[in-house]
Chains A and B, each alone.
Chain A
Amino acid sequence: MTTHSKIRCSLRRFGLVGGIAIAAVFAGPTSAHKDPVKQEQLKIYQEVFMEEVRKGDLLFHGDQKMAEQLGVADDLSKTGMACAMCHPMASDTHPQSFPKFQAQIAKFATLRDMINWCIEKPNQGVKIDPESEAMKALEAYITWSNTGSVLQPGKF
């Protein structure tokens, strides 16, 4: 094989792999690639999201059953306090300001870092896994509740 044909071959391979990757990014799961987006799909995506929002809402408001279901019942609070007691409607959580330097933690922090700080300090609980469904649900609820707020990353 000549040098020329080797290059053509690699370009063809790149084109194929890159195309799939781009299609995956824009079209979602590979099973749906290249198909136009359908309303039913969007509905399903939204339902998946809203189910996490619902779970997060319950966790945020101290719902014991949901905390047990997600395996964090012993962790979120040991004082009776729930997130919503200081943050009705998730106000004053400012998810739109993260990531930022968080003074209380004295480090550059994400919303998940701050959620864990609140669990540990005001609630006197135990940090939860930042990759856990409980954390993602809390994040989903907090960000959903602040829908419409303007992004101000880094703002104190």
Chain B
Amino acid sequence: MSDELDRIRREMHSVLQPEGARPDDSLKITRRTFIHGSLLFGAATVSQAFAWWPLLNTLDIAHAAETPFKFAWISDTHLYPRSLNTRFVDKVVRAAQEVQAMDPPADFLIFGGDLAQLGKIEELELGVDLLKEVKIPKHYIPGEHDWYLDMGKKWGELFGQPNWTFDHKGVRFIGLDTVSRGPDYWTAKNMTPEERMGHMATLDGTVAGPWAGVGRDQLDWMEKTLADWDKQRPVVIFSHNPLYEYYPPWNFWVRDWREVHEVLKPYAKVTNIHGHVHQVLYNEIGTLRSIGMLATSWPWPYAPEGLPKLTKPMIRVDPGDPYDGVGWSKIDVAANDQLETEYIMWGRKEVFVQSPEDHDKHVSEVIRPRIADNMWPF
């Protein structure tokens, strides 16, 4: 991690979090507690990767659910038309079947964005069609790949308002739109909708810039939405992007994350579940706990810097197996006040690294941004 980013995180922590406090002081550490990796493999080799991690495979978070329930998460399916790519289709079919087969059943499914790859009507409709297999209620938030071909027109027709809230068995759920407020990089360059989408769809592109954000209007809406909620009761916030700064060049953040934390600061039990990163992630800042989810489409390597020290990294995947490093998630809200997240990573018994060699950053790596799409300044 760069010194600057480390400094910023520490500063935010000191502002937002009283000394010694955790996001939720009733965090339950179970028998599945992971043996600290540094004890097994030596702290000097991968000390950042093997920072403290409470649990193996699952997270338990105290929540005051009135009755136990489960919900499921699928995101980042990145569907192309069926005629071009059948692998991505097959994986959505599998995830949908597995969610539908949950026993006891999940109360609802959250779709965390990037249903389509290039925002095409055909791709979005294919996603809707494939997810018909899931009969429980479904709630959608948008990803950037869904949005920037027609600026959310088709997405809105299919799924309605991109941000929403509902209460379920004692938990307030909020869905955020973190993708639609990107700065206008297309008008001055007279880009076609396809060109605009192409730049947005390139994770390491230099043109679309820092597009991920919540926006003042939506922050105000979130503040208003939470105003009548007991500050000791649980809140779960879904967003496509993580609500903290991990790696801005890949928009692994929202640019107004400081303001987000200011709004959430009074609430003691806030969990953010997000997509976009295609990798296992865990972080805590102030009283906000963040959990990153797997894609069904493909996994991403960890960014060259900024990986939260609380993240126990996911296992290095086999690029020859389309089902490796990807999957979906079960979230279990239990009667004994726990919220447990389980990564369902296909083809793997062990989701997390077991040795330094299992980590994608075990080989030294210094990388630099691309050059061929540079077009700024005007």
B368 and A147 form a contact (CB under 8 A): yes
Partner of A80, one of B84, B203, B250, B360: B84
Tell me the B272-304 residues at the A interface (CB within 8 Å).
298-301, 303-304
Interface string of B342-378 (1 = CB under 8 A from A): 0000000000000001001001111111111100000
Contacts of B203 in A (CB 8 A): 84-85, 88
**0/1 interface trace, chain A 42-63, chain B, CB 8 Å (1 if under):** 0000000010011101100101
**Within 8 Å of chain B (Cβ to Cβ): is A91?**
yes
* B230-264 vs A, Cβ < 8 Å mask (1 yes, 0 no): 00000000000000000001100000000000000
| Chain A hits for B320, CB < 8 A | 104, 121-122
B368 proximity list for chain A (CB < 8 A): 89, 144-145, 147-148
Assess whether B311 is interfacial by the CB under 8 Å rule: no
Distance, CA A121 to CA B320, complexed state (A): 6
A155 contacts across to B, CB distance below 8 A: 363
Interface size on B, residues (CB 8 A): 34
Q: Are A145 and B84 in contact (CB under 8 A)?
A: no
Judged by a CB distance under 8 angstroms, whether B30 is at the interface is: no
Interface centre among B249, B303, B318, B366, by most chain A C-beta atoms within 10 angstroms, is: B366
Whole-angstrom CA separation of A139 from B203 in the bound complex: 21
Query: B206: shortest Cβ distance to chain A, in Å?
Result: 10
A63, A91, A122, A146: the one contacting B301 at CB < 8 Å is: A91
Pair A61/B298 contact, Cβ less than 8 Å: no
B306, CB-defined interface residue at 8 Å: no
Contacts of A94 in B (CB 8 A): 363, 365
Residues of A within 8 A of B250 (CB): 88
Contact partners of A41 in chain B: CB under 8 A: none
Write the chain B residue with the least CB distance to A55: B372
Please measure, in the bound complex, the distance between the C-alpha atom of A111 and the C-alpha atom of B84, giving whole angstroms. Answer: 28
CB distance from B263 to the nearest CB of A (A): 30
Given the interface contacts A57-B370, A145-B370, does A86 sit within 8 Å of B363 by beta carbon? no
Q: Which of B249, B303, B366, B370 is in CB contact (< 8 Å) with A61?
A: B370
Contacts of A88 in B (CB 8 A): 203-204, 250, 300-301
- Report if A150 contacts B (CB, 8 A): yes
Q: Is B216 an interface residue (CB 8 A)?
A: no
Provide the bound-state CA to CA distance between A80 and B230, in Å.
48
CA separation between A149 and B365, bound complex, in Å?
A: 5
Residues of A with C-beta under 8 A to B360: 92
Q: How far is the CA of A88 from the CA of B202 in the complex (A)?
A: 8
Q: Are A145 and B365 in contact (CB under 8 A)?
A: no
Note all chain B residues with C-beta closer than 8 A to A144.
368
Chain B residues within an 8 Å CB radius of A58: 372
Assess whether A79 is in contact with B300, with CB atoms less than 8 Å apart. Answer: no
B residues near A85, Cβ cutoff 8 Å: 203, 298
CB of A30 within 8 A of chain B?
no
Contacts of B367 in A (CB 8 A): 89-91, 145-146, 149
Cβ of A116 under 8 Å from chain B = no
Q: Considering the chains assembled together, what is the distance between the CA atoms of A90 and B366 in angstroms?
A: 10
Q: Please name all residues of chain A whose beta carbon is closer than 8 Å to the beta carbon of B319 when the two chains form the complex.
A: 86, 104, 118, 121-122
Number of interface residues, chain A, beta carbon within 8 A: 37
**Cβ contact within 8 Å between A53 and B371:** yes
Note all chain A residues with C-beta closer than 8 A to B205: 61
Let me know if A86 and B298 touch, CB within 8 A: yes
Q: Is B209 an interface residue (CB 8 A)?
A: no
Q: Does B135 contact A (CB under 8 A)?
A: no
Q: Which residues on the B side are within 8 Å of A121 (C-beta)?
A: 319-320
Q: Please, which residue of chain B has its CB at the minimum distance from the CB of A57?
A: B372
- Closest beta carbon of chain B to A154's beta carbon, Å: 11
Q: Is the Cβ of A152 less than 8 Å from the Cβ of B87?
A: no
Would you call B322 an interface residue if the criterion is a C-beta within 8 Å of the partner chain's C-beta atoms? Answer: yes
Give every chain A residue within 8 A of B84 (Cβ-Cβ).
79-80
Q: Are B365 and A86 in contact (CB under 8 A)?
A: no
| B369 nearest CB neighbor, chain A only | A89
- A96 engages B363 (CB within 8 Å): yes
Q: Is B80 an interface residue (CB 8 A)?
A: yes
A51-102 interface with B by 8 A CB criterion: 53-55, 57-58, 61, 63, 79-81, 84-92, 94, 96-97
B178 within 8 A of partner (CB): no
Sort A-B residue pairs by CB-CB distance and give the 3 closest, nearest first.
A148-B366, A57-B372, A88-B204
Query: 21 pairs across A/B with beta carbons < 8 Å?
Result: A53-B371, A54-B371, A54-B372, A57-B371, A58-B372, A79-B80, A79-B87, A81-B85, A84-B370, A85-B298, A89-B304, A89-B367, A89-B369, A91-B367, A92-B365, A104-B319, A121-B320, A146-B365, A146-B366, A149-B363, A150-B364
